[in-house]
Amino acid sequence: MFAVFQTGGKQYRVVPGDEVNIEKIPGNVGETVKFDRVLAVGQDESVEIGVPIVQGMAVTGEILRQAKAKKIIVFKFKRRKKYRKRQGHRQEYTRLKITEIGKAS
């Protein structure tokens, strides 16, 4: 069984047991979180697509880690104007282990 759910403006296709990095959500390591914006659910050949969400379905996961991604360098430059700007950015994320896809309770 698989599900497509939405969080942080992004969509993720997951199956139970998957580990995914999602946009940072509040919570501590070991806590359980539930996502009710499930866009599609499928098993084998049958797929149920929501309009826009599948009613009564939820994806449950456990928070494994709250961390920051590798640093990226943002470099702005304008030629012949002596303008250079160097800036770094580390995006925060939450590592999540999908434990269950099923009915929302």
pLDDT of residue 105: 72
83-104 mean pLDDT: 96
pLDDT digits (tens, 9 = 90+) for 8-46: 999 999 999 999 999 999 999 999 999 999 999 999 889
Which among 29, 4, 2 has a CA at the least distance from the CA of 94?
29
pTM of the prediction? 0.86
- Please tell me the total count of domains within the chain: 1
pLDDT of residue 13: 96
Domain residue limits at 51: 2-103
Cβ burial 71-103 (10 Å sphere, 16+ → b, else e): eeeeeeeeeeeeeeeeeeeeeebbbbebeebee
pLDDT of residue 53: 93
37-57 mean pLDDT: 93
Binning pLDDT at 50, 70 and 90, where does residue 7 land? Answer: very high
